[in-house]
Amino acid sequence: MTGGQEMAGDHESLAGHGPGPGDVDLGRVWLGVAAEVWRRHPGPAERAAGRLLRSPGLARALVTAPSLLAGWLIATAAVLLAGLFATLGTGTPYVPLLAPAVAAAGIAYAYGPGIDPAWELSRSMAVSDRMVLLARALAVFGLNAALGLAAAAAGAAAVPTAAAVTFGWLVPMTAVCALALAAATLARSANVGVIVGVAGWAIVVLAGQSASGRLTAVITDTVLVLPYLAFAAVCAAIAWAATRIPRGTS
């Protein structure tokens, strides 16, 4: 055990050194020590997720999603906060306009390949990469929705004219996220997903503004709800198909 160069063909025979008593398995003892010293202790979020999902593997895959890591979440919160301050300054509800784009980026980055370097290995796992993607996408969406709601509510409290859009933007956000996910899975690239999602949303917002003169038209017009949801459903189906593993032939 003095160097990392050799491989022990039999891990039970680590005790090659020194005259230990013959019937004491020092290799076994070392494994017990190493297991304790090397083990990772999951945080409370991961433990809760493991119990909820009944799969410690899925929970681990969830908390290692790039867009659920602390840095990403902080960046998301920062963007929404900036939108909040902009709202307070100008009265235009920027948060509901920004939130869908930010969420779409997060959703696209929940995906790999493009993000997941060991994707081929991930495709051979019992916890399938599709389950991982689904769990991550839902978690990212939920978190973004919560953050966005908090920021939008704060904005609405400060600027009463924006109150009407506190919840309505969740529907277009669903549609934009589904679009980003479909693009990412089809192109097998998270970056493509981000670009398509954010650009798509920007185009829709600007189109809405030029059509009705209001920047928030795409969020407040209730007639758009059904088309949004239908669009989201189609994109979700595309994403599902793009990640399918077709049946074998036997």
Interface residues with other proteins (CB under 8 A)? 1-11, 14-15, 17-21, 23-26, 28-40, 50, 55-57, 60-61, 64, 116-128, 245-250
Minimal distance in Å, beta carbon 95 to other proteins?
Answer: 32
Q: How far is the CB of 138 from other proteins (least distance, A)?
A: 18
Rounded distance, CA 173 to CA 226, Å? Answer: 13
CB of 14 or CB of 82, closer to other proteins = 14
Choose between 17 and 222: whose C-beta lies nearer to other proteins.
Answer: 17
| Min CB(158)–other proteins separation in Å | 40
Sign of the alpha-carbon dihedral angle for 203, 205, 208, 212: negative
- Which CB sits closer to other proteins, 11 or 214? 11
Q: Which is nearer to other proteins, 42 or 91 (CB)?
A: 42
**Long-range contacts, 233-240 (Cβ 8 Å, 24+):** 233/178, 234/178, 235/175, 235/178, 235/179, 235/181, 235/182, 236/178, 236/181, 236/182, 238/182, 238/185, 238/186, 239/178, 239/181, 239/182, 239/184, 239/185, 239/186
* Nearer of residues 34 and 158 to other proteins, judged by Cβ: 34
The CB-of-16 to other proteins minimum distance in angstroms stands at 9
How big is the CA angle at 176 (ends 174 and 178), to the nearest 5 degrees?
70
Q: Which is nearer to other proteins, 116 or 195 (CB)?
A: 116
In whole angstroms, give the CA distance from residue 233 to residue 72.
27
To which H or E segment does residue 201 belong?
A: helix 190-212
Consecutive H or E run containing 143: helix 129-158
Question: What minimum distance in Å lies between the beta carbon of 247 and other proteins?
Answer: 4
Exposure b/e, 18-53, CB count within 10 A at least 16 = b? eeeeeeeebbeeeeeeeeeeeeeeeeeebeebbeeb
Instruction: Tell me the closest approach of the beta carbon of residue 61 to other proteins, in angstroms.
Output: 7
Q: Which two tokens stand for residue 221?
A: 């017009």
Give the nearest distance from C-beta 211 to other proteins in angstroms: 44
Q: Closer CB to other proteins, residue 35 or residue 223?
A: 35
DSSP, collapsed to helix, strand or coil, labels residue 53 as helix
